[in-house]
Amino acid sequence: DGGITQSPKYLFRKEGQNVTLSCEQNLNHDAMYWYRQDPGQGLRLIYYSQIVNDFQKGDIAEGYSVSREKKESFPLTVTSAQKNPTAFYLCASSIDYYEPGQTTYEQYFGPGTRLTVT
Amino acid sequence: GENVEQHPSTLSVQEGDSAVIKCTYSDSASNYFPWYKQELGKRPQLIIDIRSNVGEKKDQRIAVTLNKTAKHFSLHITETQPEDSAVYFCAASKRSKSTFGDGTTLTVKP
């Protein structure tokens, strides 16, 4: 299960506080992702980054921010503007190999951080 | 953007029976279709994938089929075992961005 790590496993915050979730990978992957997982709703993309110093909004970026200063790290900040932040957050990375007949965008997931905001 | 629908949301089978999960997608440019298995409290892990230039792929008890014209793909698990019980996610991917289905909770009864 090594290669991509997230910390902490559980995080508790008071409403109105910003909180930063850590994601680190040593797989030498270019692309990294943040997903939010709510019961019965699958994985929803928050932000993704295909290269250092560049990132794009996903489907539910409002209230979140990211940075990609190093290839290995892609921290996610949940701001006080996020209306419903309590959720399970998954970070992932992928190698993004594109070759006709051999394309793969397989994503390797971290163990997740369960954030509870009260 | 891409939209992926996955059915059924829950599936219960007897041990030894087959299970089929179906997904449809909307973006014809998607070219990579992975399936992930997530056991309770664990991270999703890839179990099988298929590329847009292939119609079917099999790996032991697991197979995936793709119909590009109809924009749907399916996961087939044969001879199910209790350890197959988990949540299964399909995804449609294009240029490293993946859109996931909402998941299917499979329960295999001994």
Confidence of residue A105 (pLDDT cuts 50, 70, 90): confident
Kind and range of the H or E run holding A78: strand A76-78
pLDDT score for B53: 83
For residues A19 and A69, give the distance between their C-alpha atoms in angstroms, rounded to a whole number: 18
Question: With contacts defined as CB-CB under 8 Å, which chain A residues touch B43?
Answer: 1, 90, 109-112
Measured CA to CA in angstroms, residue A110 lies from A32, A93, B28, B31, B60 at distances of: 11, 8, 29, 24, 27
DSSP state of A5: E
Mean pLDDT of B27-53: 92
Mean pLDDT of B54-71: 95
pLDDT score for A2: 57
Mean pLDDT of B19-29: 97
Mean pLDDT of B65-83: 97
Rounded to a whole number of angstroms, the distance from the CA of A56 to the nearest CA of chain B is 10
Q: Do A103 and B32 touch (CB under 8 A)?
A: yes
Phi, psi for residue A3 in degrees, rounded to 5: 110, -45
Closest CA to B6 of B98, B110, B91, B81: B91
Question: With contacts defined as CB-CB under 8 Å, which chain B residues touch A110?
Answer: 43
pLDDT tens per residue, range A59-89 = 999 999 999 999 999 999 999 888 899 999 9
Interface of B with A (CB under 8 A): 1, 6, 9, 31-32, 34, 36, 42-46, 49, 51, 53, 89, 93, 95-103
pLDDT tens per residue, range A25-47 = 999 999 999 999 998 778 999 99
Residue A1 has pLDDT above 60, yes or no: no
Question: With contacts defined as CB-CB under 8 Å, which chain A residues touch B46?
Answer: 106-107
Residue B103 has pLDDT above 90, yes or no: yes
Amino acid at position A6, single letter = Q
